[in-house]
Amino acid sequence: MPHLIVLGPQRLEPTVHHILKEHGIDGDIALVSAGWQEREEEDEELREVLGSQCRVHNLRIHARCEDVFHADTDLFEAHRARQDQLRDLQNLYRFRLDKLVEAAQHLFRHLGDPALVLPERADAIAAIQRLDQHHLQRLQLVHQEFETRWRSLERPAIQQQREEIHSVLGYCPTIAIAGGHVAVLLNRIRMLGIETFFANRRLVAWSAGAMALSDRVVLFHDHPPQGAGTPEILDLGLGYFKGLLPLPHAKRRLNLDDPARVALLAQRFHPSLCCALDEGSRIQATSSGWKIYPHTRLLHSDGHVQHFSHATVLPSPHASEHANQFPSRDALPSAEKAAALDSFTSATEIPTLASFNSSTKIPTLASFTSATEIPTLAPKGESR
């Protein structure tokens, strides 16, 4: 039975109930719908879909975080300061990213002697990847400094919420993570350390839920009403799986008829599989790789988009490694919890919070130019 099932959007053509049934999953299911923000408990549609097959227990992650903010105002202030810092970092990243992607797009559309053009494209991609990597490391640093200073999971207001969640999860072998506002979802899961409860449970996640579980969260929209539509890394994901980049609502958000854009996206995030998720899409982690079902599309580095007429397994070590062996901070004594963000082993891998090694030498924030001296861009119209 797969420990991880990734689905496409569920609102219009829900499939989650069929898939749970197919795998014999019934009974008690914990629901994380924090991406719906203050509407997180308006889950009637989902309960209706799941019907009598399952008893849904909404973990109320968003509401619990609000309670924490009220109870622990120091943490609330620190949290806000961190969000401001992340926002500033994002603006700085965009300054550089937009120019690099614009140059790469130009090269991907440029027709010329392949011997001349291809190395330029490759180097343009490498430049974007270096910037993405740099951004991820800076994000990681912000999170690590926050954790080191505030040791959030040890604070009483959070511990109380975690105990309640833990007791609910005691009878829920399956956790469903719905979509919504991906930054809020990720942020709230991380704040209560929900990911530490994932071990030995089945996860079913869709849209933003799938994005949050990945090792990095990539925002994308090829034709927004304002701006250039440059895909950008928002944050480290929860790192529950690697090697798969979920792209929900692809038919509305991505121009998959444009080989240059497809190639650029696929090459930039290689070796991760860029998977377009729409209604009916489904990916499962198996021992031999990712099992891709019809209605899921795969973006290739040469610009073509692969459709699947039947379920196909694409070999990937990540599918088996990361589906079943998630490290559990929860199992450790509290004093060691912050240090449990471990196993950062390779500089070439995209780091995640879950794989962070505090002994790795990463420059401190103070060694970077002060954020207050850097002009900020207007946000893209959204807040975290």
Partner 1 sequence: MKSLIHRLQQHIPVSDAEIDEFLQIHAFPWVEENTVLFFYRGDAEQVRLRHWIFGLPSSQDFFRIPSTRHWVLQADIPHQSRIEYKFEVVQRGHSHWIRDPLNKHLAYDPFGANSVCQGAGYLTPEWTLEDTESRAGTLEDIEIDSQAYGGKRHLTVYLPARFRPRRRYPLLIVHDGPDYKRYSSLKFVLDNLIHRSEVAPLIVALQHPIQRLQEYPDHPAQAQFTVHEVLPLLQERYPIHDIPQMRGLMGASFGGVATLSTAWRHPEVFGRLLLQSGSFAFTDIGENKRGPLFDPVVDFMNRFRKHPGKPSEKVFVTCGMYESLIYENRSIVPLLQKTGMEVEYRESRDGHNWINWRDHLRDALTWLFPGPLWMIYE
Rule CB under 8 A: which residues touch partner 1? Answer: 9, 11-12, 35, 38-39, 42, 179-184, 207-208, 211, 219, 221, 224-226, 234, 248-249, 252, 380-384
Nearest-approach distance from CB 272 to partner 1, in angstroms:
17
Measured CA to CA, the distance from residue 14 to residue 25 in angstroms comes to: 16
Say if strands 282-286 and 289-292 run parallel, antiparallel, or are unpaired.
Answer: antiparallel
Measured CA to CA, the distance from residue 185 to residue 39 in angstroms comes to: 12
Which is closer to partner 1, CB of 25 or CB of 217?
A: 217
Nearest-approach distance from CB 219 to partner 1, in angstroms:
5
Which is closer to partner 1, CB of 7 or CB of 353?
A: 7
Which is closer to partner 1, CB of 207 or CB of 286?
A: 207
- The residues, any chain, with a CB within 8 Å of residue 141's CB and separated by 6 or more, are 362, 363, 364, 365
Nearest-approach distance from CB 34 to partner 1, in angstroms:
13
**Which structure tokens are listed for 48?**
């209706």
Nearest-approach distance from CB 206 to partner 1, in angstroms:
9
Nearest-approach distance from CB 91 to partner 1, in angstroms:
13
Picking from 254, 239, 237, 229, the residue whose alpha carbon sits closest to that of residue 94 is 229
Torsion of CA 98, 100, 102, 106, to 10 degrees: 180
Say if strands 312-315 and 4-7 run parallel, antiparallel, or are unpaired.
Answer: unpaired
Which is closer to partner 1, CB of 165 or CB of 186?
A: 186
Measured CA to CA, the distance from residue 204 to residue 1 in angstroms comes to: 12
Which is closer to partner 1, CB of 24 or CB of 381?
A: 381
- DSSP output for 347-359: TTSPP-GGG--TT
Nearest-approach distance from CB 361 to partner 1, in angstroms:
33
Whether 174 contacts 201, CB under 8 Å: yes
Which is closer to partner 1, CB of 181 or CB of 297?
A: 181
Which is closer to partner 1, CB of 17 or CB of 380?
A: 380
Picking from 92, 22, 83, the residue whose alpha carbon sits closest to that of residue 53 is 22
Q: In 10 A of CB 186, how many CB atoms?
A: 26
Measured CA to CA, the distance from residue 208 to residue 253 in angstroms comes to: 14
Nearest-approach distance from CB 35 to partner 1, in angstroms:
8
